[in-house]
Chain A
Amino acid sequence: MMMPRIWSRILAAIKPRRKKIAFSAIGAVMLTAIGYLMNNMPVFTGENMTTYVFCQLIKDKICPGKGFEMADSVRYVNIAYDHRLVPYIHDEVPVGKIDIVDRGKLLEFLKILGQRNRYRYIFLDLRFEDGCHTEVDSALFSYIGALDRIVVAKADENPMTDYDITHKIANARYYATIISTNFGRYEYIDRDGNPYMPLYALHELDGGNIRRFGPLYFDGHGLCQSTIFLRFSSDPFGPHITHSSLIELPYENLGADIIDLVRDSILTVDEVAQTYDSKYVVIGDMVNDMHDTYTGPKPGPMIIYNAYCQLKDGDNHVSVIQLLLLMAVYFLLILIIISGKPILEHLPLLRRVKWPLAHFMISFVGYSAILALVDLICFFLFDTIYSFMLPALLLSVLDQYVSYRKYKSTRL
């Protein structure tokens, strides 16, 4: 008996305001959808990147801990000092020589790993471009083609077409925008549905995948994002000692620390191979392939591994509770605005300002501050944020429009 009475009271209260409530609900859904769509676009990495960094900074201060849990399960192999000159052919005409990675040493190293075959996964962040050929190409590419659990970075230009390793190749580029010139969001799947290296690896190892349905992305757990912000520690390779008397090498050099030692019989093949048991092996240029991030320059191969770890941790999952929380906040803000009593009208500064543009700017800053606070709370709870600039802008426009209508009606 009690419940129907409460319902009837609620319905009676809603009935005269049903248009405003319906408008607020539609507006809240639209603003939330805009936030989700913007988070799927790697080019929108300006203000929300700054928010993300600030949120992470505050969270690290209050509850430190979440960092590189998988730092001990990876081994980095540097190829920066293992180059050799080879003839370069451009447009089918020899043009001179360029230095490329010593593919002979790379083949030897892959054979060491492949013989034991106990490594967890190999990320080969090297671009084998057309026009440079060596005597070991045939052996190297057929070995890569037959190797288990390996992904090779795709060359942006002049892709390697002579040898069939296309089934092992995945994207490995990233976006820089005019708003954010440094490394911003990492994209896991491109517009054509092609996976990037971390997603390719996750698919091979755990069967995980991201599928696109129009503007929405889904994985095995439900709604997800195709791009995310990456967590970086200030230390490029995580925890390592770098003291003048003892340096813990963050990576091994392919030639000097592995292949040359095996060739000189200082290390045995087994000694080398067993250190990669159950480890992720990330091979790439750790010296020259540097990308500017919000915590300083980071090597590209490390960024790829970082992106893989976060994908594995499910950092790209969309929390339904977070979406509902955002919707509730937007709903309340819109309802307050269209009820003719904007929340910012209570500020004495805003009441005195008569100039519409200044009024608009102050209300925009106010809504941005409210939504930034909501973002901070969301980051603490769900480890992800949504862009607030566009929603704040739209709320300010609505606020301005309602104020204008109110002003006009009082004058008439």
Chain B
Amino acid sequence: MSCTLHYGNFSLGHWYIAKIMRKFAEIVLFVMKRLRFLLVLFAFVVAVGVWMRADQFKIVYLSTSSIKIGDKDYALGEVFSSDEPIHWKNDKQIIKVRSMSDGQQYILRRDSYRASKTWSIDDYYIKTRPSSVIGSTKGPNNAAKGNIRGNINGNIKEKNREDSIPPDSTQVDKNTIAE
């Protein structure tokens, strides 16, 4: 834009730039004032999203009579949420679960869960299935699935795990091994 209007050394172009800068400063000030509120709102939205996304799984095979997931003992045929921590009773315990959303079946064992410090099915995706690896070699749909579980769920659950779950959940269950 060529500017021919001059007020001393201050051209029309400079005036526009100053106006834009002022607007930008106003926006920054607005955000700073309400930063806490916006952060809380953002966290709430993410938490609701994660809660709504948590997958439901049905236990279709259990090597023991029951398994403690979260605060409850689950038996064959019962449904649990994928964000609930699994309390393994021993190293040989195996469960087979079926996703209630897409019917996909998974076999879960304890050993590597402990090694990778994972607690729930959702956590497993965060620790052992980086989304970058999935995206580069695998199909697009599953890569998307990995991203959802790896990124959104992972960040929220990280804090919860540190706060609420003992460092080694096996210590809790050692006295309750019945099988």
Contact = CB atoms under 8 A, between A and B. Distances in A.
A245 interface: yes
A162 interface: no
Interface of A: 64, 67-69, 71-72, 75, 235, 238-239, 241, 243-249, 252, 257, 261, 265-267, 271-272, 274-276
B47 interface: no
A71 B128 contact: no
A272 B105 CA distance: 12
A72 B139 contact: yes
A245 B106 contact: no
Nearest to A276: B103
B106 A257 contact: no
Q: What is the interface residue range for chain B against chain A? A: 20 to 34
Interface stretch (B33-41, B109-117, B159-167): B109-117
Interface string B74-104: 0011000000000000000000001010111
Nearest to A249: B105
Contact of B139 (A69, A248, A274): A69
B60 A239 contact: no
Which applies to chain A's interface (DSSP): helix, strand, loop or mixed? loop
B89 to A, nearest CB: 15
Contacts of B121: 246
B98 A238 contact: no
B125 to A, nearest CB: 9
A217 B142 CA distance: 37
B106 A246 contact: yes
A245 B77 contact: no
Given A239-B134, A244-B112, A249-B106, A267 B98 contact: yes
Contacts of B6: none
A275 B102 contact: yes
A266 B106 contact: no
Given A248-B106, A265-B77, A266-B60, A72 B142 contact: yes
Contacts of A241: 106, 129
B107 A247 contact: yes
Contact of A239 (B58, B113, B124, B138): B138
A261 B108 CA distance: 18
Interface string B124-146: 10001100001011111111000
B154 to A, nearest CB: 15
* Top-4 shortest CB links A-B: A275-B103, A245-B112, A239-B138, A72-B141
